[in-house]
Structure 1
Amino acid sequence: MDLVTSLRERVDGEIRFDAGSRAAYSTDASNFRQMPIGVVIPRTPEAAVEAVAVAREFDAPVLSRGGGTSLAGQCTNTAIVIDWSKYCTRLESVDVNARTCVVQSGIVLDELSRQLADTGLRYGPEPATHMNCTIGGMIGNNSCGATAQRTGKVVDNIARLEVLLYDGTRFWCGETTDDDYARIERRGDLRASVYRRLRHLRDTYADRIRERYPDIPRRMSGYNLDSLLPEHDFDVAGLLTGSESTLVTILRAELELVTVLNERTLVVLGFPDIYRAADAVPAILPHDPIALEGMDARLIRDEQIKHLNDKARGELPKGHAYLMVQFGASTKDEVEQQAQRLLDGIGESEHDPAHEDELWQVREAGLGATAHIPNHPDTFEGWEDSAVAPDRLGDYLRRLQGLYQEFGYADNTGPSLYGHFGQGCVHTRIPFDLYTTNGVAAYRQFMQRAADLVAEFGGSFSGEHGDGQSRGELLPRMFGADLVDAFGKLKAIFDPGDKMNPGKVVHPSPLDDHLRLGSSWAPAVDQRLHFHYPHDGGSFAEAANRCVGVGKCRQHTNSKGAVMCPSYQVTKDEEHSTRGRARLLFEMLDGHGDSPIQDGWRSGAVKDALDLCLSCKGCKADCPADVDMATYKAEFLAHHYQGRPWRRPRSDLSMGWLPTIAHAVSRLRLSRIVNAATHTPLLSTLAIALAGVEKRQIPLFARESLQHWFHRRGSRPGHRGTAVLWPDTFTGFFHPHIGKAAVEVLEDAGWQVTMPARPLCCGLTWISTGQLTTAKRILTRTVRALARHVRAGGLVVGLEPSCTAVFRSDALDLFPGDHDVRRLHEQTVTLAELLTEHTDGYQPPPVAVDQALAQVHCHQHAIMGWDADRTLLRQAGVHIEQLESGCCGLADNFGFERGHLDVSKACAERVLLPRLRAAAPSTTVLADGFSCRTQIHELDSGGHKGVHLAELLAQALRARTRD
């Protein structure tokens, strides 16, 4: 019996050895890439124990993985990868009095915080990836985050760990008194042997540990041998924390919790430069902030270039560097007094706590903001989290900047510098050249010189992200040969066969091996692309390489209106996250010649991963690295079916060619016949089968199209000018009443409304199904028809968000050099944008609604934004709740495509449908998107109907007229 068969027969979980799964797990957030043997997703910790047992029988190495955001390469290996994040996510128990809880390794930190909310307790360490990092991963890396200023590192917040050795030994461990040790020793089992050897190791190296371990807040490099010292109570759990899956498999953890501080305030201080900001840290620390973060103006520049946190950046004080000093307490008065004492002590006079959350996002966006900056060289990890004593931080930064300049990494401004300055930890991404032999050699030399610099300052190579492969081979420069030898002996105690994440920390692979790029990276190049990828030099390979692995797409809740990635939120599968799909596309190009995906654009594995991509465009707005999976999917499908259209699913024809079908139905006046056929039980079943779509309600065609009605009615003059109301397919042929309402509103606002004389289309349905040759032909015809209007400076008003987004985004990506396309891109507006930004003095009619909810279309979120709508509704007197629901799940054609119904419904069931069920029947549900309204109409048992903003305003106009 082979390895795969044994795993499938004995392990309760998903066993994935297919090419797509291996490709999705081939890297983490680091510079490294190693192809896993396969992936095991256990349903319980006990299933993981059995998986390790099977691996042991076949002498296969093992790697435990949480959120997969490790920056030092510790989560990529040629091993059996155990992914804990899908099923092993339980909070098993809470002891409020003892302030502890027991969790399984795969639980995400934000989810743990949510479940603990009623207790008034939380887990203290909070990395910037708190929305998707797992507790097991945090333990493996000994994570910190900004809150470590108050609570310390993970090692300071662990009571006990339940661990499994590769040989099958399993036990709980923690601090060990002499009586505990004696009791363990008397048992004479394998655990006793481990403890006996650990004590001998401690006694042998105790003096050197005390001498060589840096006495700083953020020492992450090396194993925690200091946890074995008597002053740390022979804490075996502490020893294993931060061991990066190289010693044991962590099954469960008993965590120490801290009290939630209900009140917080933030003081932001400006400085002339980052060095003087760092110099000020020692004077601030005695005021006991709960977080003390630093960032330079270069980080702000990067965020400005990428349009991140636009509002918050405007709240920053004057300066070229900033310290963000956060205080926390149980009462508002206490926290304000803490802030005031700081201000009095440093001679400042005021602070503004009103924008604390927004300002904090500026700092948390650091990793994404410094990756793939337009018109700047790519930046990489490697030296992204070094740490020194806080009182030496300023001098260290000056020397580090000198090193940047020496190696030519500084350009005009140098890499951004930011981080946990209160604990001396510095984050940065450096423009290493990892594409050429000389560049890789310079990267190696820089890493060695930087390591020597930190050692000179008595610091740590890693202050947060661990050693992995990035810094493993450098450890002798920090600890000396004796302690590195001790690390090897520790490894031999727990894993003598070197089967636990081999090649990391102990006997590490060189820091320039297994590079994800490297001088030999030569991806397959196909210049016959449909989209032009202007931000990636016209290269699909560079576009596929955009993902930096931060994993924001793996969020479990739609925080602050974020949309991506709805399919991951439903399936919890890596290959259904934006990151996982990006990894498969990267591997599809086979830049190293050893990819498991060898069939390029014809790849079934890539198609399967992209199949559940809703093309919601959420990643285009939410991904900090600007990965645009909807575009990549359309490009892939176009090539996948090129020259073999017969392989396309029938839904590509029925849904992709919907505009043509709708025009024919309208022109031939077949709406009644078609509607009867699609809504008569037997005939509808036949129609669904012929169309190759899911069995769900087929929308009704309107008896008269919007354009036919408008040209029969005629245009009316207006004093503000002429605006083209775009008659998209969905509004024009299915919901023309929305277009009529929009005409009414626009004319009341003083605009003359016109429409194209003949049916046109933006090409959306052809784009989303990857029929890009047809889409470009149709879009070209539309652009030419609108050219005279936009050349004269006229505006085009879009009512359907997905079609408006084509003009605002896709069209320019398809035709970046076409000036008419650019004009259309710049002059297409939403109804709300027209009324708030282009209609001076306009006051909307008062809208009388008791309660209102807004389901914002995902394309509107990603491309146009909803700020104008929010402003307009506020002016109309509407207090509306924007649902944190993300994509509704229908996503234009996705929810109708065969095999997608369950995912479509599950997306709607996450937030949208439960919120509608809880709402009163009279609640107004604003839903500008045709797909959103369709989903609500079909799935909401409460009978709510989605209404468009145009309808809401038109109803208010009529009410005002009646009054």
Structure 2
Amino acid sequence: MDAAGLRQELGRRVRGEVRFDAGSRGAYATDGSNYRQVPIGVVVPYDVDAGAEAVGVCARFGVPVLSRGGGTSLAGQCTNAAVVIDWTKYCNQVLSVDAERRTCVVEPGIVLDELNRHLSDLGLMFGPKPSTHSHCALGGMIGNNSCGASAQAYGKTVDNVRRLEILTYDGLRCWVGPTSQEEFESIVAGGGRRAELYQGLREITGRYLGEIRTRFPDIPRRVSGYNLDSLLPEKGFDLARALVGSEGTLVTVLRAELDLVPVPACESMVVLGYDDICAAADDVPRLLEHSRPELLEALDGRMAQLMREEGSHLASLERFPEGESWLLVQFSGDSRADVDRQARDLLKALGRAEDDPAVSLSDNPRREQQMLKAREAGLGVTARPPDGRETWEGWEDSAVPPDRLGDYLRDLKDLFAEFDYDHPSLYGHFGQGCVHTRIPFELKTAEGVAAFGGFLRKAADLVSAYGGSLSGEHGDGQARGELLTRMFGPQVVAAFGEVKALFDPDNRMNPGKVVDPHRVDDNLRLGPLWRPRAEDTRFGYPQDGNSFTRAVMRCVGIGNCRSHEGGVMCPSYRATGEEEHSTRGRARLLFEMLGGHADSPITEGWRSTEVKDALDLCLACKGCRSDCPVGVDMATYKAEFLSHHYAGRPRPAAHYSMGWLPLWARLSRLSPRWVNAALHAPGVAAIGKRLAGVAVERDAPAFAEEPFVRWWASRGLAEPDPADRRTVVLWPDTFSNTLHPNVAKSAVRVLEDAGFHVAVPARTVCCGLTWISTGQLATAKRVLRRTLEVLRPYIEAGTPVIGLEPSCTAVFRADAPELMPDDKDVERLARQFHTFSEFLLNSAPEGWRPPSLARTATVQTHCHQHAVMRYDADRELMRRAGIDADVLDAGCCGLAGNFGFERGHHELSMTIAEQGVLPAVREAAPGSLVIADGFSCRTQIEQAGTGRRAMHLAEALALGLDGPAPADHPEKLVPRPEASRRRAWFCTGAACAALATAAAAGFGRFHRRRG
């Protein structure tokens, strides 16, 4: 293969991004499956025609092609040694909607939730809804014949596709769909490649007509194999539906015309408890006999146990009735009375009452969505259980006739026991007989891989004996391609081969999947030849067996980090649309960096520039720590990587300027006016920013003329007794001390109003946050050890410590225990460290109520608080204070500590902010409060031209102590130094900037020598 020539020709002819670099190839080497194949290169076309041109170039060079959507596939169909065409970044438009006919035309890269948001004003939606609906692409759904819970009512993707625009490898481009006899004859008469395909398909189906009619299971969830049954005369010779589920092995789908359904007006849900999952499955036929539910889902006690152990979806589980396994039955209708009637009729038919402890009935949409989220979380919850086992797909979604489901599950459990696969969770779409599970396969040893293959072959025979399908949702790919003969028999599989040869005679369309497949134990992401390097790391990774490798392997490719709204994860992906800049993409590159495979494109280990570039746009927001279903913590991995990457060599200037911010803030106390003048002097400030690695577009925050600790000392109060239960330590973080001291002053007022004795450390303390975020971990440990010495009397006395800056609080609750896992004082301090709201809500004296405000507020949650501490206590405290809070679900503010201040990040920072928080703040009522506890969030809001001053919740409550405040009080911006002062200190500013830069470099060299 002429890779250089191919790359050059793609770059010359294709309107799009052509990437053959190691980073892109590493990011696309795996999907959501057990498999790994390094691609030749990646093409991200600007439009559909450019994607078609890319296929044409590949055909001229004779290289394989793989069309890829969201890359969430669990059977290996989205990984190949091919040119990967990623449609999701640009080819993601709704081209037309016909509301009257209930159809739409879309491009392959559009995400399902984005399509349904586009259709929502029309009261329409696309019916099938996989659990990955927030990030799966329609092209991928068509490729896999995706289903989801709603397939109970609306069928599989194949049942909702009207027409497809397709492209064959050899260049035929046309629309296909149902074909009448007259149209068929017209196509054949026209001759050419299209006639060849149609005539060939008619001949193949004619030869295998009996086998197709008898060997294709007549069940709701048959997803395996090619849909040759759609070519039968009684099915209207529907070529579009025949190609759905072909996984890119036959054609490239360029556009799709889809059928739409009305959005249900009302829904209700019944949850039924059972003693075990087999008993629940036994009851499915009876439920279907007496009702026509919109969905009928199941989850077992093992999944519920894992959720409780992981602290996941606890609010959902609290709404479940008694039982060890559950069926969730949802009804839809035109009115609440209608759906309630359907639910009660079912209960009556089952002989159950609403007040039965094993029954829960709801017609509250929000509550129903909560309960369904628990079911949708199955893959993430079961992938990396707290007991340290690793579970894998492989027998992820088998399906049988619903009336035989209970017996199938019993036999499947016996098969688990035969192979000593202890206690996998069983859940899924039981109304259609589809079972999900993840199994603790041992995929790192030859014996374990042999057992894996042996289990799959026996499981394939088992499901076939029940008249079922190897796949009921996720397709065949490599995971089940080898097993298709066991399900369909040799003749039908031969028919699949003939269809493949007709469309793709040279086997260049996603080769090795479905037809002539690789073995189920080839191309494993792990496997007995996988030998990652053992690495000494700075963090302890206590949740991952003290192994960075296991921490990186948490990512199983679910792809929630590719969602477009809601939650925090992943802001850089939302702004760029780049796989490499998603949490999953970065985890994939770190996996490749570990060097477990000889063909890994990442060869420089910790020194890898490809990994550094991918992590450069990670905001270290920690959103993935909470929002990723398996708890990937990319902020920690980034800090770990930076620590090794820059070990023994110079760092970027920003690591010395902003990474050492606490030191510069302390020095600023000598003369804050001089420092502010230097930071804002015209001309000189810009030069200083460039030297310090700071974005010139940013205004440097002004240091307070009187830091909080100086104000506190001026009060002359006696130090309270650490053992006094009324004593609390107020943590004087750098931001609340030297930049926004009013936050800490306000907190003191509120705490004293609640009857507490406030203590502030007399000596300098710091959490080390800025050193951690820039990977200067040895320095961070030294800083933390000094802090522990200062706090030791309070730690020993168990005195509560209250943090005002969420990122600093998160250090003590998460980062410090992981950085110093064997330090008992760190462990104790983590338990004693509280947010302002947590402490007041849980520890304030009985009878104390927060000051009353009776104001509306737009509230931006800090990412670290969302990820580590959560925001429930803040919501409740605001409610008690009479604050009508609109807590935004708008993602990261985009500043994220030092990220938005670093040179080269400003544009991305603002793009992220404009996707959520800034529009919400601009739309907030003029008289409302804008509350943001994070210094970064407040700074972003104030510097983005919103005209609003954001305040900490402590400041808002302090307003309540003063009585009613003028409506415009919170709108006043923080004053900046006068222009005349800037000019007066011009020379001083220049000198300070030069000295600061020199000092930064000197300190860096000094600490590198000191180790």
Q: TM-score, normalised by structure 2?
A: 0.93
Q: Hey, what's the Cα distance between the residues in 1 that align with 2:847 and 2:803?
A: 19
Tell me, in whole angstroms, the C-alpha distance in 2 between the residues paired with 1:842 and 1:685: 54
Pairing 1:90–2:93 present: yes
The equivalent residue for 1:114 is: 117
Cα displacement string for residues 931-961 of structure 1 (whole angstroms, at most 9, x for unaligned residues): 00000110033x1111101101111012179
Whether 1:330 aligns to 2:324 is: no
- The letter for the 2-side match of 1:419 is G
1:801–1:859: 8 Å Cα contact kept in structure 2?
A: yes
The residue aligned with 1:554 is 562
Whole-angstrom distance in 2 between the partners of 1:2 and 1:498: 21
Q: Which amino acid aligns with 1:540?
A: F
Matched, 1:426 2:435: yes
Is 1:268 aligned with 2:271?
A: yes
For residues 264 and 437 of structure 2, the distance between their equivalents in structure 1, rounded to whole angstroms, comes to 30
Q: Give the partner amino acid of 2:438.
A: R
Secondary structure at the aligned position of 1:817 is classed as: coil
Q: 1:244 aligns with which of 244, 247, 254?
A: 247
SS of alignment partner, residue 81 of structure 1:
strand
1:698-709 matched pairs, under 5 angstroms: 698-709=700-711
Are 1:787 and 2:796 an aligned pair? no
Residue in structure 1 matching 2:505, options 496, 512, 515: 496
Matching of residue 415 in structure 1 with residue 424 in structure 2 = yes
Asked if 2 retains the 8 angstrom alpha-carbon contact of 1:400 and 1:450, the reply is yes
Structure 1 segment 380-459 matched on structure 2, within 5 A: 380-410=392-422, 414-459=423-468
Aligned partners of 2:24 and 2:42 also within 8 Å: yes
Query: In structure 2, what is the Cα distance between the partners aligned to 1:926 and 1:468?
Result: 49
| 1:362 paired residue number | 374
- 1:842 offset after TM fit, Å? 4.9
Pairing 1:736–2:741 present: yes
Cα contact 1:885–1:910 (8 A) shared by 2: yes
Q: For residue 682 of structure 2, what is the amino acid of its counterpart? A: P
Instruction: Report the count of equivalent residues.
Output: 950
Contact 1:389 1:424 in 2 (8 A): yes
SS for the counterpart of 1:400 is helix
- Contact persistence 2:52–2:167 (CA under 8 A): yes
Of residues 909, 918, 923, the one that matches 2:914 is 909
Aligned to 1:255, what secondary structure does the other structure show? strand
Residue 463 of structure 1 aligns with which residue? 472
Q: 1:773 aligns with which of 771, 778, 799?
A: 778
TM-aligned CA deviation for residue 683 of structure 1:
2.2
Relative to 1, partners in 2 of residues 1:455 and 1:32: Cα closer, same or farther, differing over 3 Å? same
2:716 corresponds, among 714, 717, 722, to 714
Mapped contact 1:844–1:872 kept (Cα < 8 A): no
Note the 1:204-603 alignment, pairs <5 A. Answer: 204-286=207-289, 287-350=291-354, 351-354=361-364, 355-410=367-422, 414-527=423-536, 529-558=537-566, 562-603=567-608
Aligned to 2:77: 74
What is the CA–CA distance in structure 1 between the aligned matches of 2:965 and 2:280, rounded to whole Å? 61
For the pair 1:799 / 2:801, whether they are aligned, the reply is no
Aligned counterpart for 1:812 among listed residues 813, 817, 839: 817
- Closer/same/farther in 2, CA of residues 613 and 961 from structure 1, 3 Å limit: closer
Aligned partners of 1:821, 1:876: CA distance in 2, in Å? 33
> How far 1:906 moved relative to its partner?
0.5
Other-structure match for 2:990: none
Bigger CA drift: 119-128 or 953-962? Answer: 953-962
Q: Percent identity?
A: 57
Distance 1:708 1:851 in 2: 34
Number of the residue aligned with 2:950: 946
Task: After superposing the two structures, state which structure 1 stretch, 67-76 or 534-543, moved more.
Answer: 534-543
What is the alpha-carbon distance in structure 1 between the residues aligned to residue 554 and residue 716 of structure 2?
Answer: 49
Q: State the one-letter code of the partner of 1:713.
A: R
Looking at structure 2, the residues matched to 948 and 347 of structure 1 have their Cα atoms a distance apart, in angstroms, of 55
Partner of 1:166: 169
Could you give the per-residue CA deviations for residues 367-399 of structure 1, whole angstroms, max 9, x where no partner exists?
A: 000011122410000001000000000000000
Deviations 1:326-369 (A, max 9, x none): 00112111111111111111122221334211111110100000
Of 605, 614, 633, the match for 2:610: 605
Paired residues of 1:720 and 1:750 also in contact (CA < 8 A): no
Structure 1 residue identity aligned to 2:714: R
Match of 2:961 in 1: 957
Corresponding position of 2:991: none
- TM superposition shift of 1:850: 4.0
Query: What is the deviation of 1:714?
Result: 3.3
C-alpha distance after superposition, 1:634-669 (max 9, x if no partner): 00000000011x2x1101100000100110111x2x
The aligned counterpart of 1:691 is 692
Cα separation, 2, equivalents of 1:823 and 1:401: 43
For the residues of structure 2 that align with 1:158 and 1:954, how far apart are their CA atoms? 59
C-alpha deviation, 1:851, in angstroms: 2.5
Q: In the alignment, residue 482 of structure 1 is paired with which amino acid? A: Q
Residues of 1 paired with 2:144 and 2:846: CA distance?
57
Partner residue of 2:54 out of 51, 54, 63: 51
Give CA-to-partner distance per residue, 1:398-449, whole Å, 9 cap, x none: 0000000010002xxx100000000000000000000111000000100000
Tell me, in whole angstroms, the C-alpha distance in 1 between the residues paired with 2:406 and 2:837: 49
Match of 1:124 among 124, 127, 140: 127
Contact 1:72 1:470 in 2 (8 A): yes
Task: Give CA deviations for 1:484-528 in whole Å, capped at 9, x if unaligned.
Answer: 11000000111011000000000000000000000111101112x
- Equivalence for 1:925: 930
The TM-score normalised by the length of structure 1 is: 0.98
Letter in 2 for 1:359: M
Deviation of 1:846 after TM superposition, in Å, equals 4.3
Aligned to 1:830: 835
Per-residue deviation at 1:720?
Answer: 4.9
Per the alignment, in what secondary structure is the counterpart of residue 683 of structure 2? helix
Q: Does structure 1 retain, via aligned residues, the 8 Å contact 2:755–2:845?
A: no
Kept in 2, the 8 Å contact 1:845–1:953? The answer is yes
Conserved? CA contact 1:835–1:842, under 8 Å: no
SS at 2:52's partner residue?
A: helix
2:853–2:957 contact (8 Å) kept in structure 1: no
Letter in 2 for 1:556: H
Structure 1 match to 2:137? 134
Q: Tell me, in whole angstroms, the C-alpha distance in 1 between the residues paired with 2:465 and 2:239.
A: 30
Q: Once the 2 structures are TM-superposed, how far is the Cα of residue 735 of structure 1 from its aligned partner?
A: 0.7
2:973 — aligned with what? none
Please state whether the residue corresponding to 1:93 is helix, strand or coil.
strand
For 2:961 and 2:662, how far apart are their aligned partners in 1?
A: 32
Deviations 1:865-920 (A, max 9, x none): 10000000111111110111111000010001111000100011001111122222
Pair 5,551 (structure 1): closer, same or farther in 2 beyond 3 Å: same
In 2, distance between residues paired with 1:804 and 1:842?
A: 27
What's 1:176 paired with? 179
* Alpha-carbon distance between aligned partners in 2 of 1:713 and 1:720, rounded to the nearest angstrom: 22
Aligned to 1:898: 903
AA of the residue aligned to 1:45? V
Q: State the AA in 2 paired with 1:335.
A: V
